[in-house]
Amino acid sequence: KKVSRLKGKYRIGPHNHDVLSIIFGSLLGDAHGENRQMGTGTRITFYQESSHVEYMLYVHKLLCGLGYCNPKVPVIETRLGTGGKVRKTVRFSTWTYTSLNWIHELWYINGIKCVPNCINAYLTPLALAIWIMDDGSKVGKSLKFSTNSFVYKDCLKLVNALNENFGIKSSIQSAGAGNQYIIYVLKESMDKLREIVNPYMVKNMRYKID
């Protein structure tokens, strides 16, 4: 069944805090914002490898239930990656909204994704859980965020936000390549992190914090 929808310029905000938490948490990971229709609107595209399909369906269900995307369930797609390697991925996008333009302006400078100065205001428990599920990895008894695409000052904003918002201690370490960094949550803060994000974690993503 074809879904009728308003043009982006007729869709208005403000957007509720859960929606903003999902968007901001996802943009800290693999999601990206895209200006469309000659600057008349922005959409957010969510992307993961097929092994994380349960997580993608969770995000899709949340946004679909709030009217932000096509209700058609995302499917696993196959494409050729670097070196001819076959990759299976899952992706979907929100509708295009002019009322999301401010998010694109916050997150992108000359087409490069950067962490907004106001990240503290949007790094909620839900946003943190989304960030972990999207871009976090278990490392021993701790957790790391693959923040390779962000410059050092952006990683510093995130470390400060984790501490100021939740009292979670973390450190910035080199990713082994020039100007690439990874954020590690200290083991002493893992119990606190689990308590904060547990209500929002998808079952097959809990291994990242266990």
What is the number of domains present in the chain? 2
pTM, entire model: 0.88
- Is residue 130 domain-resident? yes
Q: What is the pLDDT of residue 12?
A: 45
Q: Are 25 and 130 in contact (CB under 8 A)?
A: yes
Q: Which two tokens stand for residue 40?
A: 């008349």
- In this structure, is residue 166 part of a structural domain? yes
Residues of the chain with pLDDT > 70: what percent? 89
What token pair was written down for 74?
């995302």
Query: Domain for residue 209, yes or no?
Result: no
Q: How confident is the model at residue 1 (pLDDT cuts 50, 70, 90)?
A: very low
The amino acid occupying position 58 is Y
Please enumerate in sequence order all residues whose Cβ is within 8 A of that of 164, keeping only pairs 6 or more positions apart, or say none.
120
> Are 9 and 84 members of one domain?
yes
Q: Are residues 31 and 77 in the same domain?
A: yes
Taking the mean position of all CA atoms in its chain, how far away is CA 140? Answer: 23
* pLDDT at res. 13: 52
More confident residue, 15 or 99: 99
96 and 153 belong to one structural domain: no
| Distance between CA atoms of residues 110 and 26, nearest Å | 20
- Does residue 129 have a pLDDT over 50? yes
Instruction: Report the DSSP pairing between strands 32-36 and 108-109.
Output: unpaired
Backbone angles phi, psi at 121, to 5 degrees: -70, -20
Give the SS3 label for residue 69: strand
Residue 31: the pLDDT is 96
Positive or negative: CA dihedral 81, 86, 88, 93: positive
pLDDT given for residue 75 in this prediction: 81
Is the pLDDT at 8 greater than 70? The verdict is: no
Instruction: Please name every residue paired with 86 in a beta bridge, in sequence order, or none if there are none.
Output: 80
pLDDT score for 120: 96
Res 179: pLDDT: 86
**Which residue among 86, 113, 140 closes a domain?**
113
**Would 210 be classed as within a structural domain?**
no
User: Of 113, 136, 171, which residue is a domain's last?
Assistant: 113
Best mean pLDDT range from 2-6, 71-75, 117-121: 117-121
CATH number, residue 138: 3.10.28.10
For residue 11, what are the domain limits? 1-113
